[in-house]
Structure 1
């Protein structure tokens, strides 16, 4: 699906409709030293196996794409879930 690069939509900070630039949300790098990761590694060691079952295959073939809207006036960013689809293309 093609999405426009800019769109006119409501900005809650400006409290009016302004031009927003659209970008796709990308997940940041996970920290290997985070407490949850370290705890999970500890629980996987030795006998007893996994804490929760390892997922062999996923049921869904698509994800809901998260779109980031950045206001051109104030720079406020709001995130909205897009619809479920395989590929999002931000068109000029």
Structure 2
């Protein structure tokens, strides 16, 4: 199943610099591992915001839930999740 997920991040301004650096490194490792496995298909930065839009291809709702809750930055995020379906005008489906 395909999902588009918008993730808005709000890390506390007073977070210890070392703790923040470690958190961001863990987030990068986690997301890149999922990208290599093909479940996190793409990630796009939202210009001018601490946010991204990502496309996930996962077995179902439960797997997406598991992935998102596993994000090291999850406690500092708000998300908008949209299930996706093929569009009949998409020429790549021919």
Q: Which range, TM-score by smaller chain?
A: under 0.3
TM-score, normalised with respect to structure 2 = 0.23
Larger fraction in helix: 2
Larger fraction in strand: 1
Bigger radius of gyration, 1 or 2?
A: 1
> Which structure's relative contact order is higher, taking Cα pairs within 8 Å and 6+ residues apart?
2
TM-score, normalised with respect to structure 1 = 0.23
